[in-house]
Amino acid sequence: MQEAELTAATRIEAGRSYGFFTDTTVCIGCKACEVACKNWNGVGVDGLEWSGNSYDNTGDLGAQTWRHVAFVEQNKALWHGQTQRWLMMSDVCKHCTRAGCFDACPTGAIIRTEFDTIVVQSDVCNGCGYCVMACPYGVIELDLGGSGLAQKCTLCYDRLRGGLEPACAKACPTDSIQFGPLDALVERAVDRTVALRHQGIEDAYLWGLDEHQAGGLNAFFLLVDEPEVYNLPRSGTDPADFVAESAWRTTVAALLLGLFTILNFLRAGHDA
């Protein structure tokens, strides 16, 4: 009976919103998620390019890194002296509600699936790169060393269709990466945050649930420091807003330039 209830509770159904809740407080930096992602999706090897500032050898999300475990070493001065701590976070595509990449794609290669996730169809992508510029979180990238097409996390779309959880969540040994229906994940994340604060971790908070961040994200995080520390934008700001503002200013500038060109043309004709 218990097994039947578990199966029913975790059944993956079309028409529901799914995503990731990443609890950074239990991430151990093992990079099992990175390996599982590469293995399942056939993503290429990044190589061993050490930055000199971290034990992290992948550096950032990109065409060959759909999951990236960030290592943040901190030295903080306290009243009794220096203390050191490591912050670790497995970053991934946010599968935005208001996805800039989806809006910018001119070929329809980027779609929203029946699981409310964002996927790039490689057979439709033409490698124009508009999605790269439109992504507010620096996630999507062109595979310039290979196919030349846009690449990013698919939230293991093929596994979801087969009723399986994404490879990264399956491989995570500490349950730092949790997969499930978005509403259930949010409830679980709120409970976890409250519990941590009761334990004295008052800096614990959730990042990515603010609707002003690309309309809300299907991948959100429990953090214990400022978002910039994890290479994330501050909550309450939506980079897509700046894209819209920039587009408006560009349009106005183009109209003024066009008007100026027409006036010069008319003046030249009058002088002739």
Please enumerate in sequence order all residues whose Cβ is within 8 A of that of 211, keeping only pairs 6 or more positions apart, or say none. Answer: 97
- pLDDT tens digits for range 126-172: 999 999 999 989 999 999 988 999 999 999 999 999 999 999 999 99
Name the strand (E) or helix (H) holding 177.
strand 177-181
In a domain, residue 6? The reply is: no
Q: Is residue 101 part of a domain?
A: yes
User: For strand 219-223 and strand 18-23, is the pairing parallel, antiparallel, or unpaired?
Assistant: parallel
Amino acid 88: pLDDT: 93
Domain contains 9: no
Domain identity same for 190 and 262: no
- Number of structural domains the chain divides into: 2
Please indicate whether residue 246 or residue 29 has the higher confidence score (pLDDT): 29
Residues 133 and 147 in one domain: yes
Predicted confidence at residue 246, as pLDDT, reads 52
Please indicate, yes or no, whether residues 166 and 253 belong to a single structural domain of this protein.
no
136, 184: one domain: yes
- Nearest one of 176, 50, 6 to 59, comparing CA atoms: 50
* Host domain of residue 249: 241-272
C-alpha dist (Å) from residue 266 to 61, 256, 261: 52, 15, 9
Bigger pLDDT: 260 vs 111: 111
* Stated pTM of the model: 0.80
User: Torsion-angle region of residue 14: left (phi > 0), alpha (psi -120 to 50) or beta?
Assistant: beta
User: Using CA atoms, how far apart are residues 117 and 109, in angstroms rounded to an integer?
Assistant: 14
In a domain, 1, yes or no: no
Q: Within this chain, do residues 232 and 248 fall inside the same structural domain, yes or no?
A: no
pLDDT of residue 8: 42
pLDDT of residue 1 exceeding 60:
no
DSSP class of 227: G
In the structure encoding, which two tokens stand for residue 243, read together? Answer: 């894209």
In-domain check, residue 10 = no
Is residue 75 located within the same domain as residue 87?
Answer: yes
Q: Do 55 and 144 share a domain, yes or no?
A: yes
Percentage of the residues of the chain whose pLDDT score is greater than 90: 62
Q: Does residue 29 have a pLDDT over 70? A: yes
In the sheet that holds 219-223, the strands lie side by side as 177-181, 18-23, 219-223, 205-207
Answer yes or no: do 230 and 272 share one domain. no
152 and 193 within one domain: yes
- For 183-197, give one letter per residue: b (16+ CB within 10 A) or e: eebbeebeebbeebe
Q: How far apart are CA 111 and CA 127, in angstroms?
A: 15
Token pair for 97: 């509600």
Averaged pLDDT, 101-116: 96
Tokens 């490591």 belong to residue: 86
Task: Give Rg (Cα) of the chain.
Answer: 22
One domain, residues 87 and 157: yes
**180 and 224 share one domain:** yes
- Write out the two tokens for 179: 């997969």
Look at residue 111 and tell me if it is in a domain.
yes
| Helix, strand, coil % over all residues of the chain, rounded to 5 | 35, 20, 45
> Which residue pairs from 106-111 have beta carbons closer than 8 angstroms and sit at least 24 positions apart in sequence?
106/130, 109/150, 110/150
Of the two residues 181 and 268, the one the predictor is more confident about is: 181
Compute the C-alpha angle 12/17/21, nearest 5°: 90
In a domain, 47, yes or no: yes
Is residue 118 within 8 Å of residue 139, measured between CB atoms? no
The enclosing domain of 209 has a CATH number of: 3.30.70.20
DSSP lists the bridge partners of residue 64 as: none
Separation of alpha carbons 125 and 140, rounded Å: 13
Give the residue among 116, 156, 154, 149 at the shortest CA–CA distance from 131.
Answer: 149
- 203, 248: one domain: no
Nearest-angstrom CA–CA distance, 193 and 159: 29
pLDDT in tens, 47-100: 566 656 566 777 788 999 999 998 888 876 555 666 778 899 999 999 999 999
Asked if residue 260 belongs to a domain, the reply is: yes
225-235 average pLDDT score: 87
